[in-house]
Amino acid sequence: MNMHGIMTPVAVEPRRRRVPVEDVIDWIRRRRMFLLIVVLPSLLLAGYLYLIASDQYESEAHFIVRSADAAPAAVTGVGAALSMVTGHGDASHTEAMSVADYLTSHDAVAELRRGGRLVERYNRADADFFSRLRQADPTPEKLLKFYRKRVSVQFSTETGITTLKVHSFRPEDSYDLVRMLLRLGEQRVNILNQRSYSDAIETAQRQLADTETKLEQVQGRLTSFRQNRRDIDPQASGQAQIGLVTNLTGQLSAARAQLSAMGRMIAPSSPQYQAVAARVRALEAQVAGQSGRLTGGNRAIATDISGYEGLQLRQQFLAKRYEAAASALDRAREQALRQQLYLVRVVDANRPVKAMFPERARILGTVMIVLFLVYSIGWLLVAGVREHAQ
């Protein structure tokens, strides 16, 4: 309105139109934290997974370690049914776990490196930088660490089955490595069998050899005793000597009785009486001499029989002990053979056709969810701080 009372329109500046780029910048500015925390890392990960990451092929095999006479394990469900077929028990469980541990050990890696081109298989130029083994001559520790990321050996205590999985950049590499690992497992089982067999029969063999040596020594002492005494069988000689003394004693008793009877009928000075008396004296001397051979002195037959019977008793004892040791050795051998372990391939190695790893969608989805949760927690914390500040 001017001074004359006439109303005139007020000049209005025209509103400036926003450029689309500015809208985009404003949208990015307002959501920059979400983009930095969630979107950008997800895009980078997706670019690596779908554009750079090399395909990896998995080969898998299943095996069990069992013995010939293993009793079924006390498990339930599928494990119980399978144990009746496979016959695995606590001992085979222990050996199976030792085989599984061996397949992920320095020794197995050294064998694969020496004869399986392990380093060359994982150091291929066509594999991506982040997945492959980046050293042509890695240390044993680094190679083992990388190997354990690509090779999985899992033992099931319920079924007794060991699952072996290998990831590599080529199907034939995964297949070959699984086959080589199965052969290494079989070799390990053979070594365990050899050790178990040796441990089982070593004690029995040692006892048998010790008893055999002692028995030979007693046999030698018996032979020396016979040679020194000039008597092949002192016991038989003693029996014969006893019989002789008994016979002479009987003759002496008869002669004395005859002499006593003659003394009542004829004079002692008669020739007939003197002859019988001389016979009595001769028999007495013979009885005394032969009885002395039985019991008197170091060369007496009684002493010979005592020493001979001691050696013979020792010989009989060692002979029985030798028979028992031989039987124990046979039983130990039979038991060791029955307890021999076998690696049975339940599922043989497969030759992969399609690359199943890396699991791109699962990895990307998991990372995005985790990043979103991190962003949400951070947003809630910031919002709470602002609310308290107001």
The residue among 94 and 373 whose pLDDT is bigger is 373
Q: Which is nearest to 167 in space by CA: 53, 52, 55, 62? A: 55
pTM > 0.95: no
Indicate whether 286 and 190 sit together in one domain: no
Q: Are 66 and 87 in contact (CB under 8 A)?
A: yes
The residue among 146 and 242 whose pLDDT is bigger is 146
* Tokens linked to 269: 């000075």
**Residue 15 included in any domain:** no
- pLDDT interval class at 165 (50, 70, 90): very high
Using a 10 angstrom Cβ sphere, with 0-12 exposed, 13-18 middle and 19 or more buried, the burial of residue 62 is middle
340 has pLDDT over 50 = yes
Indicate whether 58 and 199 sit together in one domain: yes
Indicate whether 221 and 126 sit together in one domain: no
The residue among 144 and 294 whose pLDDT is bigger is 144
Domain count, the chain: 2
* Tokens linked to 2: 């001017």
Indicate whether 60 and 83 sit together in one domain: yes
Indicate whether 216 and 89 sit together in one domain: no
pLDDT reported for residue 67: 79
**Residue 32 included in any domain:** no
Indicate whether 195 and 57 sit together in one domain: yes
300 has pLDDT over 70 = no
Indicate whether 211 and 243 sit together in one domain: yes
The residue among 287 and 193 whose pLDDT is bigger is 193
Count of C-beta atoms within a 10 Å radius of residue 179: 17
pLDDT reported for residue 84: 44
pLDDT digits (tens, 9 = 90+) for 24-82: 788 888 888 999 999 999 999 999 999 999 999 999 999 999 876 654 444 444 444 44
Of 320, 337, 354, which residue sits at a domain end? 337
Indicate whether 93 and 237 sit together in one domain: no
What mean pLDDT is predicted for residues 227-254? Answer: 70
Domain that holds residue 116: 53-203+339-362
pLDDT digits (tens, 9 = 90+) for 109-164: 999 999 889 999 999 998 999 999 999 999 999 999 999 999 999 999 888 999 99
Indicate whether 296 and 285 sit together in one domain: yes
What mean pLDDT is predicted for residues 301-329? Answer: 78
Indicate whether 57 and 197 sit together in one domain: yes
pLDDT digits (tens, 9 = 90+) for 188-227: 999 888 888 887 788 888 888 898 888 888 888 777 766 6
**Residue 384 included in any domain:** no
**Residue 14 included in any domain:** no
pLDDT reported for residue 272: 82
Indicate whether 171 and 273 sit together in one domain: no
**Residue 17 included in any domain:** no
Indicate whether 186 and 263 sit together in one domain: no
**Residue 3 included in any domain:** no
The residue among 325 and 178 whose pLDDT is bigger is 178
